[in-house]
Amino acid sequence: MGERLQLETCEAYLALPESGKGPGVIVLQEWWGLVPHIESICDRLAAEGFVALAPDLYGGQSTKEPDEAGELMMSLRVEETATKLDSVVAFLAGHEAVTSAKVGIMGFCMGGKLAMYEACRSTQIGACINFYGVHPNFEPDYASLQAPLQGHFAEHDDYSSPKVVDELDVLLTGLGKSFEFHRYAGAHHAFFNDTRPAVYQPEFAKLAHDRMVSFLRTHLD
């Protein structure tokens, strides 16, 4: 179990491994907010040996209602959120428990898009993981991406559709970027979220978890 703490620009949830030290990973929320599911992902990463930090991008707000979640997501201001993400990256990169030269960043749904956005801006990111990321107002400058990228995408997804994933694949290939995309046949958007029985698919979630942990261990020293 981790703890809530106040950073310079936002509150966050921090989970430490049993050893007390490890590579740093930032976990960015879905459109619901910094909810127990996101905290549990930090706990799982800590159990794998990582120092995991999840910032609260909504200033204490969260919801279980899709309409309200959409409103909260769309209320994020690009410049303000970018400043917040920069501050979070700097905090974790400088944390005494972090042993990696750079930190990883990952996110789910809205957070997946924001993870790519920040990875294209920061030189302190050593690995980026995108789970079916979507946000219409944040457009990463993929030409500036330096960190290796891993993507996880569902076959049945109206938000991060196979067509959108195909287009991103072509773009990143053309730019000569280091990336790997994993597509899950039969999966639905948010298949990793074990608090949503309607969409959670444990066989895909376990496979994605194993892949993300291996990726982080490979790229964060």
**Mean pLDDT of successive 10-residue stretches along the chain, which has 221 residues:** 94 98 99 98 99 98 97 97 98 98 98 98 98 96 98 96 97 99 97 97 98 99 79
Average pLDDT, the chain: 98
Out of 152, 188, 189, 219, the active site residue is: 189
* Known active-site residue 182: no
- In order of 16, 85, 135, 175, the CA distances from 140 in angstroms are 30, 14, 10, 13
pLDDT, one tens digit per residue, over 69-101 is 999 999 999 999 999 999 999 999 999 999 999
Residue tagged 């196979």 (tokens):
162
Q: For the structural domain made of 3-219, what CATH number should be given?
A: 3.40.50.1820
Out of 135, 157, 188, 219, the active site residue is: 157
Out of 42, 109, 120, 128, the active site residue is: 109
* Known active-site residue 189: yes
CA distance 164 to 132: 10
* Known active-site residue 120: no
Domain ranges of the chain: 3-219
pTM of the model: 0.98
